[in-house]
Amino acid sequence: MAPTLYMIHASPPVRAVLITAKAIGLDLTEKEIDFFQGEYLKPEYLKLNPQHTVPTLVDDDGFVVWDSHAIVTYLVSKYAKDDALYPRDLQKRAIVDQRLHFESGVLFARLLRITKPILFKGKTVIDDADRDNMLEAYQFLNTFLEGKQWVAGDFISVADYSLISSVSSIETLVPIDEEKCPNVVAWQKRLEARPEYEANRKGREEFSVLFNSKLAKK
């Protein structure tokens, strides 16, 4: 029996899990939550995940875990044929973990500062300060990628999947400056050429349509 993923395609963290699952050849039973009908607040979902976030994974033995970073490392550790995407080598793993924490604590946090007011408060303009903070996050990522193919070095990892899910989404609202962040643009193109990236396309488009439809037209 396949693990079950409670999800919304437009969610970048959900897509990080979908990309990872595709990369390791793992089939997931996808259960899409109707966000606008408040299904994430229903008692049966709160019992699984009291934080009522997506994604939430229920493994075939009933084990439940949420937060995309915890899910992707769990899936690779349990289901992947090797440790390539999340190395057992402590130093390599430490770099992957740092990049995952960067995505969670910096890049995705800044994404939320932009998107939550649009989605929940009817905001129609992105503040200059929030835009500048996102541009700074791109520049951090550009530095991480200096002289490297992938965010943790010469090997692709779950950190790449986590970061691309967010970067490919927010850059539809705050474009990347190719002159200032050429490494990020090149990295994004490398990922887009990989077969597992297909798991990102539908949700990225939904994200772009949803949020751009709510912003004031210039």
Please give the positions annotated as active site. 11
Q: Are 184 and 95 in contact (CB under 8 A)?
A: no
What are the structure tokens assigned to 104, written together?
């969670």
Burial 115-134 (b: 16+ CB within 10 A, else e): bebbeeeebeebeeebbebb
Q: Are 191 and 164 in contact (CB under 8 A)?
A: yes
- The end-to-end CA distance of the chain, in Å, is 49
Neighbouring-strand partners of residue 4: 29, 58
Place of tokens 């396309």: 201
